[in-house]
Structures are given as structure tokens and as C-alpha cells.
A and B are shown apart, each in its own frame.
Chain A
């Protein structure tokens, strides 16, 4: 019996991913075998897996068919995320990791044959190359095949986020093969023409692409690149990427309202402490393996869930909050939290070939437990979502739900209603409970001390 490749695994003739008995495998085709052997025998595999830069795998004795030479079983990544869901520093770290891998490979006579941003996943808190078949034997004189892809997948979005607007990362949702360089060049400020790195890798690169667009490929085949020039190219890209910055601040465009939410919060420290206590107690009893923290802000509750052993996907729509969340995770060495930029009013859609290459958010679930703290009022009042539809969404996202209800009398809701007409007569505790107990069964209801808020534990009705 042969297993079909995953829908996203069809471009590279070196091999493909497939699932058998709920386990993910990667087939290594005969044509790629010499490169795979070189990776394993050169010491590069040990070096990169020890540094946590390459996903470890085991060789299996699974029955081979067709073009197969070997089947490997990579260590599973608990949640697959995409670059349009990453904050600036996540994309930057992924770019730096890709270049560091290229440098390590070069020292052992190999190169990266692709530099796709989708080959990087966040695993145990750090960017990891998940495509074991990305390496090939270096041939003296040959330019870097993956250079164009690196510029489009990493450099262009990073520059746009850093030099124009952090929200431009969303261009990656539309351009799955990276941001076209002519578009990046047009969008970047004129001042970037004075930066030698941006000038050459983006602006002149875009012009060169345009000039050669209708020229025969034979012209490129004669081009040669010496070892030193190759190393210089990678070193130059590395220093350019290292210098890029984006600081979350309330003054930055895009670095907005929520980053300082916990500082400006209206409710008392005692209420916040009690809320933490309640959530921790519930998670300690539930012991979920996976948690989705919806509207996670800077991830305070995500880290509580991670401390209870869960793998937490910590989602927020504010780039600044995600940036701070990621920075805190890196600083604390938190490996169980994956901060992601996600707008629940418009979560990532399925995209790519046949709409099956990149999965939608809900296709990557459900989670064992969903955390929805200080979120319901934003969706129900801020985005006019009826409470029953909200309950329906939660039920698709997870099996259990820890949700906080914030009534109209709370200052946060008052703030939301201050700028608009109150067309939400049904926004009240009783209606909320009624809506939630449609798909869920109520297990616990706990009022938060010194506040008007209530936390509920709900479990899906079976």
C-alpha cells in the first residue's frame, strides 16, 4: 500500500512527506540519496541537530515503493505556523537561522538548495529547518540557487516591516513564493536606495530580474561564483539582516493599543492575581497537552499554561503584543509557547494550490483546551459577532473552554461602547451562558474577586 504525499509536498523531486497510521514520514527519493548521505556522513546533520537548527529524524525500515530510496521519520512539530503569522523578530530569527545553516553547510561542502520560509518552523521556542532534503553537494563555482528565494521569502518582508510598516508582513498571505522584489522595491522608502545592502539585494536585484526576464537562460549558466565570493554574499546578507529592527511602541504605526494593556488595565491587581490563580487551578486539573490562548496579549496566561506542561499557541492580533510575547519567551527560555499574530475576526485561510498547501487556522486544530480571557467583548461588541456564533467558533477550536465574561458595566466594555451606539441588548451574563451551553456543558463558574468578571469552565457536549 502506498501513501499519498501531503497536499503541500509536491514541488521538490527529492522526496515528499506522507502520513501513515497518524505518523509523519518523509520519503527520500533515489535521485536525492547521494546528497542525503553527504548530509549524514559529513557531520553536518549532527552539528545542526545538536544546535537545534535542523529537525532530528530516525531512519525507518518502512517498505519502499517507486522512486523511494529511504523513509525517514522526522520529530513531530506540535503546531505548524506560517510566516504571515509571525512577528518581526520571529521572521528575523528564521532568516538568521537559515543563513547560519547555509554557512555551516558550506563549511562541510554542502549548500541549501532552497531557502523557503515555509521550511522553517518554530519548535521548542526556536526556528528549526524542517526540510531534511534542503541540502545538496556544493559544486565549486556555482552561484547560490536559493538566493532569489531568500530575498523574496525573508529579506523583502523583513525590510518592508522594518523600514515601512510592520503590517506589510501580511503581503506574504497573498504572495506564497515571497514578496515580488519589484513590489518590495516600489514600497520601500526612497531613503533605502542609500543603503548598499538594500540597494543591491532589493532595488538593483528587482531591476536585474526585469532586464533578464525575457533573456535566454543560457546567459546565466556561464556565471561563476568563487568560494570567497559565495561566503562574502552570505556574510553580507547576515550583517544586513542582523541590523534590521522593529521596536514595539505605542507611537509606531502598527504598534498599537494592546501592547501596554496590562499596564493600563482598569481592574485591580488583586483581581488580576485571582484570575491567574483560577486559570492555573483549572489548567492544573485539566492537564491539556495543547492549548490555544485566543487574544493572548503578551502571553501572561500562555506561560501559566506552559508551566502546566501544555504546548500553547498564543494568538493575538496586535503585532506589538506578539513581539513582546516572543521577546519574553526568548528571554525566559520558554519553549512551550508559540506566539502568533492572528486576527480571530479573519483567521488565516487555507491557501496555495487547491487551497491545500497552507492550512487554515481551524484545520490545524482542535486544541485540547481553549483559553478565551478578556476576549468575548472584543469579538461580540468590537466585531458584532452574535454570542451563539462565538460559542460555535470556540467549539470548533477546542474540546474544553476556559472563558471569561466581561459585562457591560466593566470599564473595558464601557470604553468599547464609548465610541459607538450600543446595539447589543443581548450582551449579558444570562444570554452568554445560554449561548455557551449550546455546544458546551457548564462545568464550573467562578466570579473573579474584586471585579465584575466571571470565568467559566466548559466542556464540549458529547
Chain B
């Protein structure tokens, strides 16, 4: 049976994928690949927690600022809003 057009694309894609693994001009090392995947599994989980935590911290920090400087967002033009958020960001840097 002849493969369909999409099937052909799939085959080419698979060939390219396999080829690109072969293409690495430095030896990535089987043992290095293996340990990397093991480490990255744990590191990825830790990274997800870290990012989540950062978001929580940012959320609370953002909340506090909003309360401190109430902004009537509806009457503020986009340019002014951007300028304010820039000020907020730059003042955060000096915290």
C-alpha cells in the first residue's frame, strides 16, 4: 500500500528527526543522555515548583502595590498605563 501524502510527510519528518540525532557532531554520550534525563526529571519538577512559587510571590506583591496606588484604569490611556507599569517595575528593582 502506498502511503498517503500526510503519511509521506510523517515519514520524512521521522527520517529528519532520526537524522538530526545522528547529526550531533560532538558525542553526546549514551551515559550522559541517560543521567541527564534522570536529573532533568527531578529538576523539571523542582523548576515547576519554583516558577509556581515565583508567580504566587509576584501575585501578592502585585496585589499590595495595587492597593497602595489605586488606579482608575478605565480613564487611563494605554500610554499612561504603560508608563505607570514601567514606574512600578523600576521601583520594584530598587526595593
- Residues in A with CB closer than 8 Å to B20 are 139, 142
- A232 lies within 8 A of B46 (CB): yes
> Closest CB of chain A to B12's CB: distance in Å?
14
B58 at the interface (CB under 8 A from A): no
- B33 lies within 8 A of A232 (CB): no
Q: Looking across the interface, which residue of chain A has its beta carbon closest to that of B41?
A: A229
Per DSSP, chain A at the interface is helix
Residue of B28, B32, B35, B46 most packed against chain A (CB within 10 A) = B32
> Closest CB of chain A to B75's CB: distance in Å?
35
Q: Looking across the interface, which residue of chain B has its beta carbon closest to that of A219?
A: B30
- Residues in A with CB closer than 8 Å to B44 are 226, 228-233
A220 at the interface (CB under 8 A from B): yes
Docked Cα-Cα span, A11 to B39, in Å, equals 29
A262 at the interface (CB under 8 A from B): no
Instruction: Choose one: B28, B32, B46, B48; the contact of A236 (CB below 8 Å).
Output: B46
Instruction: Choose one: A204, A221, A235; the contact of B43 (CB below 8 Å).
Output: A235
Q: Mark B23-47, 1 if CB is under 8 A from A, else 0.
A: 0111111111111111111111111
Instruction: Choose one: A113, A201, A226; the contact of B39 (CB below 8 Å).
Output: A201
Docked Cα-Cα span, A224 to B47, in Å, equals 18
- B30 lies within 8 A of A217 (CB): yes
Using CB atoms and an 8 Å cutoff, list the residues of chain A in contact with chain B: 11-14, 113-114, 116, 139, 142-149, 151, 200-201, 204-205, 208-213, 215, 217, 219-221, 223-226, 228-233, 235-236
Closest 4 CB pairs of A and B: A229-B44, A232-B47, A232-B43, A212-B31
Q: A146-B28, A209-B29 are in contact. List 15 more A-B contacts (CB 8 A).
A: A11-B26, A113-B24, A143-B40, A144-B36, A145-B28, A147-B28, A148-B28, A209-B32, A210-B31, A211-B31, A213-B31, A220-B34, A221-B18, A228-B48, A232-B43
